[in-house]
Amino acid sequence: MVESVEIKADLSDPEFLQNPYPALAALRRDSPVARVKTAFGFDAWLLTGYDLVRESLADPRLVRNVPGEVDPIRQGTPGGVAGRDFVPPSVLDTVDPPEHTRLRALVQPAFTSHRIDGLAGRIEAVVAPLVEELGGTPEWDVVPRIAYRLPLAVIGDILGTPRGDDVELVRITAGLLAEDTDGDRFRAHRIALHSLRDYLVDLIAQQRRRPGEDLTSKLVEAVPATDEVAGYELVSLLVNIVVAGYLTTGNVIGSGLAALLTHPGQLALLRGNRGYIPSAVEEFGRIEAPFTSVLAFAAEDLAYGEAAIERGDAVISSLTAANRDPARFADPDRFDITRPDHGQLAYSRGIHRCLGSHLARVEVAVFLRLLLDRFPVLELACAPEDLRWRAIGEIRGLRAVPVRTA
């Protein structure tokens, strides 16, 4: 019998947010399947061991919709919350097969490893000017200057947005990083999602009139303009691609560069051997996962470890805890860009594995190479203990990473 425990420290607790690893390590050691109270007030089962988390991410008995509830797209169509009040859900994360299978099949061809590798030259052409801009000042913050602009510029190129609209997308999506302290903490998020939705609705209309070779045009070809439900799905898919892509890559760039700059020996090693860039990118995701956890629901009664999980129970798989499990990673709290065998779970696993995981890896690798080529000096321009984290739901990233280059 597993006793219910209440975790006093959660992602809304500043102390836990700054360093969640001791609390997660204690849970992983003493109660790898724990009944917890979440920051949002509901009970859930928290999985912290690597093997349990890895198993759960591909377990078809764990689903994204509470059994018996209406799927999120149809909640937003006529009869639900329609029209301008519609806030597009992250459909690839919140629907289950067969809907998930159908929707993912629409966008998967644009994100295969082969296709992304073929875009490496275009990605470098997008990233290089952003890195070159940094040379105009000896000190800059990588978070606003690069971390979020870079992935939005690349995603915009894939979607077919007008050149230069990455700045507009940064402005539109800025509210997704807000941490509201008034009574409605998600007001800024909803405003940002509404603005992004409107931008993408206009983009869809433009590409329907003048289709090109971009992903938006390909999706428009598959969706009749008269199909209202499919229209909501298309908008939601594009919102999903933009939001997940820029937050994931942006957080990895910020926390990864911070890890390098607080470990000068590792930075020197990377400068001396660029062949370590791929393993460095993997270590960035392992040491600080951009998404801390995955929420699912039991579609039937099931058992994990010694816990009897009932149908409908919420199950949280902690990617952050799994990626520092000493049973899987030697000396797991040590940042080591030479780890030969990763298996890290920063991008999840199974049918809900991050669609843009390979794109994120290529973007970060290109950025690292160009950054090292451009700046012979890279130093953290603050004390390591002054680096502060933000968390919005399961998303965790650094607020700022000041860098000195001279």
149-187 tens-digit pLDDT: 999 999 998 999 987 787 888 888 888 877 654 555 567
In a domain, 106, yes or no: yes
User: Mean per-residue pLDDT for 106-129?
Assistant: 89
Contacts 24+ apart (CB under 8 A), 77-81: 77/228, 77/229, 77/232, 78/228
Which band of pLDDT confidence, cut at 50, 70 and 90, is reported for residue 320?
very high
In a domain, 1, yes or no: no
| Torsion angle in degrees (nearest 10) through CA of 324, 325, 328, 329 | 40
338-394 tens-digit pLDDT: 998 779 999 999 998 988 999 999 999 999 999 999 999 999 999 999 999 987 777
Q: Are 394 and 293 spatial neighbours (Cβ–Cβ below 8 Å)?
A: yes
What pLDDT is stored for residue 124 in this prediction? 93
86: domain range?
A: 9-405
In a domain, 2, yes or no: no
Question: Which H or E run contains 404?
Answer: strand 402-404
The backbone torsions φ and ψ at residue 73, rounded to the nearest 5 degrees and listed phi first, read -65, -45
What's 139's DSSP letter?
A: E
What pLDDT is stored for residue 89 in this prediction? 58
- What predicted TM-score, i.e. pTM, was given to this entire model? 0.89
241-300 tens-digit pLDDT: 888 888 889 999 999 999 999 999 999 999 999 999 999 999 999 999 988 999 999 999
What pLDDT is stored for residue 203 in this prediction? 92
How many domains are contained in the chain? 1
Which band of pLDDT confidence, cut at 50, 70 and 90, is reported for residue 8?
very low
49-89 tens-digit pLDDT: 999 999 999 999 999 887 665 444 444 443 333 444 555 55
In a domain, 3, yes or no: no
In a domain, 341, yes or no: yes
In a domain, 324, yes or no: yes
User: In the chain, pLDDT over 70 holds for what percent of residues?
Assistant: 86
Residue 240 reports pLDDT greater than 90:
no
Task: Return the CATH number at 228.
Answer: 1.10.630.10
Q: Minimal CA–CA distance to 296: which of 367, 183, 394? A: 394
What pLDDT is stored for residue 234 in this prediction? 85
In a domain, 209, yes or no: yes
In a domain, 281, yes or no: yes
